[in-house]
Amino acid sequence: MGLTHLLFQNPLLFAAVAVALLYSVIAHEVAHGWVAHLFGDDTALRYGRLTFNPLPHLDIIGTLMLFFVGFGWAKPVPVNYGALERSRFGLIAVALAGCATNILIAFAAMAVLQFSAIAAMPELSTILSVVARINIILGAFNLIPIPPLDGSRVLMRLLPPAGQEALARIEPYGFYILAIFLFTGLLNPVIMFMQNVIYGLISLIIGSVRPGV
């Protein structure tokens, strides 16, 4: 069942799903800024981005992509990587914070779905299933090591200097490379593999089955 189908069948249910998914991408960005703040960079705090007020975070295209394609984004939280204490570990922690947050949200949604009382509430079950599915997609997608995705930040720290220089050279073109890979479907197997890994880890912990939507 797609999100547009939910809109026509039950507008109130769609509104609830929309709010939950909007806050999933906001939580992703707030997590980046919060972890950066823990490591000594207050840029996100000074720009008013450590908030769950959606207005400073909204990106129109990214929000539309979330609801109609299945993944999207908010405005990136500004981070001064040079200000991070223990810069190598701090950079990796900041980069992974957003993905980890989406995976934790998916874990919580799937865990709640295990309660029989929730299973008897179809509307709530649908909301939780969609939230789990989209957050796993968001986590898996952002782990791909192509700029400007979070995975590229991690890869940058793990590569030798020559590899870092090569990745830095393609970073200005990363969005276009990513768009080509997405529209040609070349990234689909990678995204599916990473989703399956995340599903497997969550299921291993809570004994869950993949949420169906």
pTM value?
Answer: 0.86
Task: Indicate the pLDDT class of residue 71, thresholds 50, 70 and 90.
Answer: low
Angle at alpha carbon of residue 185, lines to 131 and 104, rounded to 5°: 25
* 171 noted as active-site residue: no
Residue 213 has a pLDDT of 46
- The span from the CA of 113 to the CA of 6, in Å, is 19
167: pLDDT strictly greater than 60: yes
Which of 38-47, 61-70, 99-108, 196-205 is predicted with the least confidence, judged by mean pLDDT?
A: 61-70
Task: Calculate the dihedral angle through the C-alpha atoms of 200, 159, 76, 172, rounding to the nearest 10 degrees.
Answer: -130
36: pLDDT strictly greater than 90: yes
120-134 residue pLDDT tens = 788 888 889 889 988
Residue 94 has a pLDDT of 95
194-208 residue pLDDT tens = 999 999 999 888 875
Query: How many residues comprise the chain?
Result: 213
Q: Which two tokens stand for residue 124?
A: 């709530």
98-155 residue pLDDT tens = 999 999 999 999 999 888 777 778 888 888 988 998 899 899 999 999 988 999 999 9
In sequence order, the 6+-apart residues with CB closer than 8 A to the CB of 202 are 103, 106, 107, 110, 136, 208
- The span from the CA of 77 to the CA of 57, in Å, is 8
33: pLDDT strictly greater than 90: yes
Contact 21, 134 (CB under 8 A): yes
